[in-house]
């Protein structure tokens, strides 16, 4: 793979390049003991600045804290590259934490991967509207013991008139190894330009395995019998209750950049995950 040129058919949201040189760095950490200990170790290594002043941010914690940091940047409109070091559990979006290794040297060698989140436009039963972005996935989930009934449309065409299920989710390639994988959805290579549409415990159509869609697709979920069968929508870490309808599309104007050590890029980790036994 070349460092700076797009491959045929490759869009900016999946392009992998060498990182630029970063002079002004921010350092943030989750509130766990391990992350706070690492924060103290790194505090004297660099003249850290705030995210508002930085060229890149070093994130100490797990995948959840990385998502929280990325969403914080999306909310403020101040989006800079993020280099994570895993002090959580899985750390799929993170690099390995190595005590004593220079962060600035690691950043100088890091490669950047640009990813575009999903944009969710949700309408509640009372007509309230919200717009959120999801880096991993948007999931619709039943709120009560009653199964959900959801109409599924792709590009303005109804594909499933009534999906009876515990829920359904739409995942990006970056999120395909998260909730999507636990719901038996497919793992998507980062440069696949695809989305995974995955049912959660489907009852009818019982054998529907989900679908793999081009990432230019527009997806709509409409809740059937919402009063009797209420459904919530979750965009990564943000939840809305009593949903009537959700529309989804890739938000190419909200591109994010993750930084990875050589040999630990996200596309390689997605491939490797498929051979875990």
Q: Is 153 annotated as a binding residue?
A: no
Residues 6+ apart with CB under 8 A from 115: 13, 14, 135, 172, 173, 174, 190, 255, 256, 257, 258, 266
Q: What is the CATH number of domain 12-116+255-273?
A: 3.40.50.10330
Distance, first Cα to last Cα, the chain:
28
Residue 216 region by backbone torsions, left for phi larger than 0, else alpha for psi between -120 and 50, else beta: alpha
Q: Is 267 a catalytic residue?
A: no
pLDDT (tens digit, 9 = 90+) per residue, 113-171? Answer: 888 999 999 999 999 999 999 999 999 999 999 999 999 999 999 999 999 999 999 99
Domain boundaries, the chain: 12-116+255-273, 118-252
Q: Is 181 annotated as a binding residue?
A: yes
pLDDT (tens digit, 9 = 90+) per residue, 22-73? Answer: 889 999 999 999 999 999 999 998 999 999 999 999 999 999 999 999 999 9
Q: Which of 31, 47, 55, 63 is catalytic?
A: 63
Q: Is 167 annotated as a binding residue?
A: no
Q: Is 27 annotated as a binding residue?
A: no
- Whether 80 contacts 112, CB under 8 Å: no
- CATH 2.60.200.30 for the 118-252 domain, yes or no: yes
């Amino acid at each position: 793979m070349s460092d700076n040129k797009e491959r045929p058919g490759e869009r900016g949201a999946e392009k992998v390049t060498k990182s630029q040189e970063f002079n002004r760095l921010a350092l943030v950490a989750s509130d766990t003991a391990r992350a706070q200990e690492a924060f103290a170790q790194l505090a004297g290594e660099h003249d850290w600045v705030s995210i508002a002043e930085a060229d890149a941010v070093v994130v100490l914690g797990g995948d959840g804290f990385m998502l929280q940091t990325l969403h914080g940047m999306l909310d403020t409109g101040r989006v800079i590259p993020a280099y994570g070091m895993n002090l959580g559990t899985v750390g799929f979006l993170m690099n390995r934490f190595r005590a004593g290794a220079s962060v600035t040297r690691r950043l100088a060698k890091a490669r950047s991967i640009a990813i575009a989140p999903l944009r969710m436009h949700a309408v509640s039963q009372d007509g309230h509207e919200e717009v959120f972005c999801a880096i991993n996935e948007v999931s619709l989930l039943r709120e009560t013991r009653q199964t959900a009934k959801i109409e599924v449309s792709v590009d303005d065409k109804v594909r499933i008139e009534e999906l009876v299920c515990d829920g359904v989710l739409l995942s990006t390639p970056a999120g395909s190894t998260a909730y999507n994988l636990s719901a038996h959805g497919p793992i998507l290579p980062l440069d696949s330009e695809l989305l995974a549409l995955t049912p959660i415990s489907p009852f009818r159509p019982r054998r529907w395995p989900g679908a793999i869609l081009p990432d230019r697709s527009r997806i709509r979920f409409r809740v059937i019998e919402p009063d009797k069968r209420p459904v919530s929508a979750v965009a990564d870490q943000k939840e809305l209750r009593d949903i009537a309808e959700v529309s989804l599309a890739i938000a190419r104007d909200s591109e994010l950049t993750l930084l990875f050590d050589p040999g630990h890029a996200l596309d390689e980790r997605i491939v490797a995950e498929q051979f875990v036994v």
